[in-house]
Structure 1
Amino acid sequence: MKQVRILIFPCGSEVGLELHQALKDISFITLIGASSVPDHGQYMFEHYCGGLPFVQTPDFLERFNALLKAQHIDFIYSAMDEVLDVLSANREQLAASLIAPCHETVHICRSKVRTYARLNGLDFVPKVYNSPDQVTRFPVIIKPEEGYGAKGFYILQTPEALRQQLAESKTANVICEYLQGEEYTVDCFTNRHGVLQYTSCRNRNRIRNGISVNSRLQPPDEKIGEIAQQISARIPMRGAWFFQLKRDEDGNCKLLEVATRVAGTMCIQRAVGVNLPLLSVFDMMNYDVAVTPQLDTVEVDRALYNAYHLPIEFDEVYLDFDDTVIVHDKVNLNLMRYLYQCVNKNIPVKLLTKHDYDINITLKRYKIAPELFDEIIHTDRAQRKCDFIRPGKRALFIDDSFAERKQMQEAHGMVTLGVDAVEALLDYRQ
Structure 2
Amino acid sequence: MKILRICITSIGSATALNLIKLLRKQTKYHVEIIGLDSNHFGYTSGSLLVDQFIQSPLASEERYFQFMENVIANEKVDMLIPIHDYEIYRLSKQKLDVNMVLPDQATVGLFRDKLLSAKSMQEIGITVPPIIKLDSPLAENHEKVIIRDRVGVGSTGIQILSGADYLQVSNGLDENKKFVQRFITGDEYTVDVFSDRSGSPKFIIPRSRIEVKAGVATKVRIVYQQELIYLTKKILNKYPIPGFCNVQFIVNEKGAFFIELNPRYGGMSISSSLASVNVMQLFVDHFVKHESLSDMSEYMKMVKWNSVVTRYYEEMIFYDED
TM-score (norm. length: structure 1): 0.66
The equivalent of 2:275 in structure 1 is: 272
The equivalent of 1:293 in structure 2 is: 302
CA distance in 2 between partners of 1:172 and 1:66 (Å): 34
The equivalent of 1:210 in structure 2 is: 215
The equivalent of 2:179 in structure 1 is: 174
> CA distance change for structure 1 residues 113 and 294 in 2, over 3 Å: closer, same or farther?
closer
The equivalent of 1:77 in structure 2 is: 81
The equivalent of 1:417 in structure 2 is: none
The answer on 1:57 being equivalent to 2:50 is: no
CA contact (8 A) 1:272 1:297 kept: no
What is the identity, as a one-letter code, of the residue corresponding to 1:10? S
The equivalent of 2:227 in structure 1 is: 223
Gaps of 5+ in 2: none
How far did 1:165 drift? 7.2
How far did 1:109 drift? 1.4
CA contact (8 A) 1:156 1:162 kept: no
Partner SS for 1:119: helix
CA distance in 2 between partners of 1:25 and 1:10 (Å): 20
| Matched-pair identity in % | 20
> CA distance change for structure 1 residues 293 and 162 in 2, over 3 Å: closer, same or farther?
farther
How far did 1:42 drift? 1.6
The equivalent of 2:94 in structure 1 is: 90
How far did 1:170 drift? 11
Aligned-CA RMSD value: 2.3
The equivalent of 1:258 in structure 2 is: 261
Mapping for residues 24-173 of structure 1, pairs under 5 Å? 24-26=24-26, 27-38=29-40, 39-50=44-55, 52-91=56-95, 94-121=96-123, 122-133=125-136, 134-135=138-139, 136-161=141-166, 163-164=168-169, 167=172, 172-173=177-178
Q: Which of these two proteins has the greater Rg computed from alpha carbons? A: 1
> CA distance change for structure 1 residues 235 and 157 in 2, over 3 Å: closer, same or farther?
same
How far did 1:193 drift? 3.1
How far did 1:71 drift? 1.1
The answer on 1:184 being equivalent to 2:189 is: yes
Partner SS for 1:97: coil
What is the identity, as a one-letter code, of the residue corresponding to 2:308? E
CA distance in 2 between partners of 1:169 and 1:208 (Å): 30
CA contact (8 A) 1:241 1:260 kept: yes
What is the identity, as a one-letter code, of the residue corresponding to 1:310? Y
CA distance in 2 between partners of 1:128 and 1:294 (Å): 36
The equivalent of 1:303 in structure 2 is: 312
> CA distance change for structure 1 residues 138 and 191 in 2, over 3 Å: closer, same or farther?
same
> CA distance change for structure 1 residues 165 and 213 in 2, over 3 Å: closer, same or farther?
farther
Larger RCO (alpha carbons 8 Å, 6+ apart): 2
What is the identity, as a one-letter code, of the residue corresponding to 2:237? A
Gaps of 5+ in 1: 313-430
Partner SS for 1:264: coil
How far did 1:130 drift? 2.4
CA distance in 1 between partners of 2:61 and 2:319 (Å): 34
How far did 1:310 drift? 3.4
CA distance in 2 between partners of 1:231 and 1:37 (Å): 36
How far did 1:162 drift? 5.1
The equivalent of 2:244 in structure 1 is: 240
Partner SS for 2:268: helix
CA distance in 1 between partners of 2:172 and 2:210 (Å): 33
CA contact (8 A) 1:151 1:210 kept: no
- The alignment of Structure 1 onto Structure 2 pairs a total of residues equal to 307
**Deviant stretches of 4+, over 6 Å:** 168-171
